[in-house]
């Protein structure tokens, strides 16, 4: 069998001549002779929209700038501390800073005792250092846990809490109803007992204030500081009222310019890469409305222990602002546009244990700024741990529970874990470059 194969004819294609070989003057260019009628319209629309965007941004920036409240009036400096002299001049008698010496936890269940030792607060190379140290280095580990009585002979509780003392004497008596002997002795002494689970405060640190040298009622505070790094360290720059005009805390308020935690950035409840500012206030000791007036700022690629930052309070009868480094980085900006009792949205009746209390406005005769309309003084301190919730339970490997009767002991027993994160003296210290305070005058 034979078969035939047919071949399809090859189609001849016309080879096009490259225009590169032709005389450019002979080429047709319709886009030159005939303009697209929409091109000009598109151009003007694009330029117009760009112009409107720029103009709108400028208007927004202008009104944004105008809306930022500023201090109107003169500022008179009341404190300018550069720490350029020696420790005795800055922290000794006649200096700007008063060392508060206690071991009762300052109402927060803190685990440190504050001392007047130059191990814990000192001036060096133009900086103020607040440095935590181990109590066991002073009295030994065995005494920390059992059979030792530690008394602060220079305790300042009688100075910082004068209303809790007898009017004519600082000695406790059984028939003196104005003297809170339990609070006094709890703030000035401790006994370690392994059976009861009580120990001597395992850390020594410092708390410095300007209560005897400088205070302001409206004005500006500026502090340049480098924060400490280390688990459960609690640095703070804050203010308390001079006279507690409206009653004991929190009736007379508290201004927290900066609080932080020394825990690393991986800590789930805001570590050393966060700083917070807040106001504490409320009509009763157990009714603090701080959750209504707080905020924070964060460093996304670094933290506040890597260098110095400036923490600022601006405060007038009309507003209060707390920020770090720039007004753009404000943690709290609050207009005094309503009374604080209204701002708190408190219930009509509250319960204290089994007792019902009809809640009344304690600032009814004040202004919208009350209780923040009285002189406040400044505090610099480095606390450690505590049982008030600043370090939430079961977060970040916390070795104690706030509600435990042995919280401080549990913290101390975990020393190998947390002390290894504190690093060098420089790393674990709150280091302050300068402090400036101005009064609105």
Catalytic residues: 254, 259
Q: Which two tokens stand for residue 182?
A: 């339990």
The 3-state DSSP class for residue 351 equals strand
Q: Which two tokens stand for residue 244?
A: 């507690």
Could you tell me if 375 and 241 are in contact, meaning their C-beta atoms sit under 8 angstroms apart?
yes
- Residue in 203, 251, 184, 241 with CA at minimum distance from that of residue 377: 241
The 3-state DSSP class for residue 340 equals helix
Residue 315 phi, psi dihedral angles, 5° rounding: -145, 125
What number of other Cβ atoms are within 10 A of residue 307's Cβ?
Answer: 10
CB proximity list for 220: less than 8 A, separation 6 or greater: 71, 75, 312, 313, 314, 315, 436, 437, 438
- C-alpha–C-alpha distance, residues 330 and 298, integer Å: 11
Distances (CA, A) of 397 to 41, 72, 385, 413: 65, 48, 13, 14
User: Exposure of 192 by Cβ count < 10 A (0-12 exposed, 13-18 middle, 19+ buried)?
Assistant: buried
Instruction: Return the sign of the alpha-carbon dihedral for residues 49, 50, 52, 56.
Output: positive
* Cα 192–Cα 194–Cα 196 angle in degrees, nearest 5: 85
């Amino acid at each position: 069998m034979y078969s035939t194969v047919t071949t399809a004819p090859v189609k001849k294609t016309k080879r096009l001549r490259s225009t590169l070989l032709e005389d450019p003057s002979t080429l047709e260019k319709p886009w030159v002779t005939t303009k697209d009628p929409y091109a000009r319209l598109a151009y003007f629309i694009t330029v117009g929209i760009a112009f409107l965007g720029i103009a709108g941004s400028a208007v927004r920036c202008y009104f944004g700038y105008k809306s930022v409240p500023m201090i109107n009036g003169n500022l008179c400096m009341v404190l300018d501390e550069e720490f350029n002299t020696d420790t005795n001049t800055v922290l000794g008698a006649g200096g700007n800073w008063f060392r508060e010496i206690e071991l009762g936890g300052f109402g927060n269940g803190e685990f440190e005792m504050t001392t007047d030792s130059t191990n814990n607060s000192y001036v060096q190379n133009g900086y103020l250092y607040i440095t935590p140290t181990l109590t066991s280095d002073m009295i030994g580990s065995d005494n920390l846990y059992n059979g030792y009585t530690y008394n602060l002979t220079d305790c300042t509780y009688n100075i910082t809490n004068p209303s809790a003392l007898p009017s004519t004497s600082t000695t406790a008596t059984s028939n003196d109803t104005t003297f809170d002997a339990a609070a006094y002795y709890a703030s000035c002494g401790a006994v370690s007992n392994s059976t009861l689970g009580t120990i001597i405060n395992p850390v020594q640190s410092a708390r410095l204030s300007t209560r005897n040298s400088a205070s302001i009622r409206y004005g500006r505070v500026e502090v340049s500081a480098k924060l400490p790094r280390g688990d459960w360290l609690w640095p703070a720059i804050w203010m308390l009222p001079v006279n507690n005009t409206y009653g004991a805390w929190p009736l007379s308020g508290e201004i927290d310019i900066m609080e932080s935690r020394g825990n690393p950035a991986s800590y789930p409840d805001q570590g050393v890469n966060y700083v917070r500012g807040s106001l504490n206030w409320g009509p009763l000791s157990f009714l603090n409305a701080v959750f209504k007036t707080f905020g924070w700022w964060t460093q996304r690629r670094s933290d506040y222990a890597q260098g110095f930052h400036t923490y600022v309070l601006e405060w007038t009868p009309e507003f209060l602002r707390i920020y770090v480094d720039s007004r753009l980085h404000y943690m709290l900006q609050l207009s005094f546009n309503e009374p604080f009792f209204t701002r708190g949205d408190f219930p009509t009746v509250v319960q204290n244990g089994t007792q019902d209390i009809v809640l009344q406005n304690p600032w009814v005769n004040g202004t919208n700024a009350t209780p923040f309309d009285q002189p406040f003084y400044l505090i610099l301190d480095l606390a450690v741990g505590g049982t008030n919730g600043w370090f939430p339970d079961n977060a970040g490997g916390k070795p104690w529970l706030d509600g435990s009767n042995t919280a401080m002991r549990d913290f101390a027993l975990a020393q190998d874990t947390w002390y290894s994160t504190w690093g060098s003296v420089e790393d674990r210290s709150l280091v302050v470059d300068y402090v400036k305070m101005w009064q609105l005058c």
